[in-house]
Structure 1
Amino acid sequence: MDNHTIKTVFKEYIHPLDIKIIQKMIDVEAIDKYVKKLYTLSYIRLFLYAQLKKLENLAVISQSVSRKKTVQRLVGMDSISKSQLSRKNRQIPHEITEAILRHLIQKIQYTLGAVKAGKALDKLHLIDSSTISMCLNGYEWADFRDTKAGIKLHTSIRLCDDTVSLDQMILTPARPADETRLDELIVYTKDVLHVFDRGYFNFVKFDTYSKKGIRFATRIKSNTVVNIIEELPVEASSPITRHAIVTLGKMKNQLQLVETMDSNGNKIRIVCNDAKRSALEISDIYRNRWKIELFFKWVKQHLVIKKFYGKSENAVYNQVYLAMITFCLIILMKQKVGFKGTLLEMLRWVRDCYNQSMTTFVLEVRKEPERKSSGRRRWDSDRIFAETLAQYETGDISHLDNLTYDPLV
């Protein structure tokens, strides 16, 4: 019998979580020792459902359990109060959800690695951070500014062709500078090229990475001291305006300097410590950095991380990690069913069909459009004008006075 016939989409969707491993972590920490109703596994299922359906507060989540039999079957209970959800959200150590996320990231790397083996961009890591601002009242632990609180998502993603997958995410209060977490986001292997922006600018780190063979490309600031060692030739037709070998400030290791223009005509200066890359390659690689900005935009628009279910550090971090777990599960589901559309389309499919059988779901996702259309056709005005002119010139114009004439027939 086909395994899909007895599985719902949601069960298959959360299958990569490895429930047995999660339960072992729960038992070691004795999280559910005195729990009578909302066990941690039920909490994880329920809040993954909330992320999937984009439920923005605990009251709506509570009502979903009370009103929907399908949700009751997912979590194994017929009701749960808002206060119970809030309490559980505070009590579960966020290290649990962080560990689940890391486990899923490893699965994605293994899955995509097997599919995308040998691809050049498989070794491109994009590093950046994104801040989520919060009201200072209630989030005093999230140190940011004198007038507001906030958390920072220090993130590294892998880029393979057009596929973006999460590599690492570190959550901290928003105040620490980006460069304080750079070492934790770096992959210490020689076959990876890291791309990051000026927020991570640090001469000492750059020298250290160069000595260790860690490759990187980044923009330099306008006031950076650039020591020219050698100017390199640039083709007149190339978008590159300057190519040189340089050192920065008191750095000892040499870098390639590439100057080009962005889409708005502004000059950008990029340095890279990979001597084997051409100037055009370095320019193209740095342009890919914007894909991490698109990642942040995607998760903020389509997952619940801008409105929080609770105010404690555990509650906020659990919610963000569960949102990233949702992102990873969508990637794995897309890969599993062989879906050729976008990640957002896959999210919408799972969101709408979460209670269907997996067999029906796979057939629907893979089904070819029943109606094929070449789209709205444009009138060939040049041809029509030429034919009308020819008719006029030959005197064949009697049909123009016939009111019963239909030019569409």
Structure 2
Amino acid sequence: MNNKSIGREMLICQCLSLLPTEDFDCPLIDYGNYKLSTKSLLRIFVSAQLDKWSSYAHMEEKLRAYPRLCKELDIKDISGSQLSRRINDLPTEWVQKIFAKVVQKIKQLTDTCKGLPSGIGKLSIVDSTEIKLPERLCDWAYISKDYNSVKMHTRLSVVSPNVAFPDKILPSTGTVSDSESSDALIEENDTTYVMDRAYPSKRT
């Protein structure tokens, strides 16, 4: 069991070493936040996603159990309440910037991939995911009296039989239909697009 845990921890550290967070090394970004920098905060939440940490309490528990990861993250004694406060203050544009850099890096690494065989070539799958939000805390995402939600309109690029990655994500409130997002997600004329009937017919 211990060997498995150590292997998991090292794998997360290797993934974090590839994350393009150099833009967040500026001390001015973290003025007044001495214990938990923006760079460390972002890397903690990436770790949580990779290792499926389910709550702030779970994140706190895992960070205590992974000393090597804490060293990689450059943190000590971070609580779940600190994570909650800092993530609420984080501009979403910064997270979007990291996503765009990661996508650019993956595209460079997969530039020679030809897509799927049998004449299909480049393939993109377009769909959306709706996430329900708490009623009283998120009235800006109002749908109905008892329902608030946001959507993630996503395009998954399939560049080979074994390699696929989301190359574009558009966040919106739940009131934005799938058809309204199609102009931003269906762009290239040398790509086969796969989507459900919620999206309109379109020539690129």
TM-score past 0.5 threshold: yes
1:201 offset after TM fit, Å? 2.3
Where 1:17 maps in the other structure, the secondary structure is coil
Do residues 198 (structure 1) and 197 (structure 2) align? yes
Do residues 117 (structure 1) and 119 (structure 2) align? no
Matches within 5 A, 1:184-223: 184-187=184-187, 189-201=188-200, 206=202, 209=203, 214=204
Q: TM-score, structure 1 length as denominator?
A: 0.43
Q: Deviations over 1:143-198 (max 9, x none)?
A: 333211111110111123253221211111111111111111122x3312323222
1:200 offset after TM fit, Å? 1.7
1:90 offset after TM fit, Å? 0.8
1:35 offset after TM fit, Å? 1.5
The 2-side partners of 1:155 and 1:77 are apart by 33
In structure 2, the CA distance between the partners of 1:56 and 1:122, relative to structure 1 (3 Å rule), is same
Q: What 5-or-longer segments of structure 2 have no aligned partner?
A: 1-9
In structure 2, the CA distance between the partners of 1:122 and 1:77, relative to structure 1 (3 Å rule), is same
Do residues 45 (structure 1) and 48 (structure 2) align? no
Greater RCO, 1 or 2 (C-alpha within 8 Å, sep 6+): 1
Check the 8 A contact 2:30/2:37 in 1, yes or no: yes
1:122 offset after TM fit, Å? 4.0
Partner residue in 1 for 2:145:
146
The amino acid across from 2:156 in the alignment is I
RMSD: 2.3
Check the 8 A contact 2:186/2:193 in 1, yes or no: yes
Do residues 178 (structure 1) and 202 (structure 2) align? no
Runs of 4+ off more than 6 Å: none
Identity %: 25
The 1-side partners of 2:32 and 2:146 are apart by 39
Partner residue in 2 for 1:12:
14
Larger radius of gyration: 1
1:61 offset after TM fit, Å? 1.5
The amino acid across from 1:125 in the alignment is S
Q: TM-score, structure 2 length as denominator?
A: 0.82
Check the 8 A contact 2:126/2:195 in 1, yes or no: yes
Aligned residues: 192
In structure 2, the CA distance between the partners of 1:68 and 1:17, relative to structure 1 (3 Å rule), is closer
1:95 offset after TM fit, Å? 0.9
The 1-side partners of 2:121 and 2:24 are apart by 33
Matches within 5 A, 1:8-407: 8-20=10-22, 22-23=23-24, 30-114=28-112, 116-117=113-114, 119=116, 120-159=119-158, 160-187=160-187, 189-201=188-200, 206=202, 209=203, 214=204
The amino acid across from 1:137 in the alignment is R
In structure 2, the CA distance between the partners of 1:105 and 1:153, relative to structure 1 (3 Å rule), is same
The 2-side partners of 1:200 and 1:109 are apart by 26
Q: What 5-or-longer segments of structure 1 have no aligned partner?
A: 1-7, 215-409
The amino acid across from 1:178 in the alignment is D
1:45 offset after TM fit, Å? 1.8
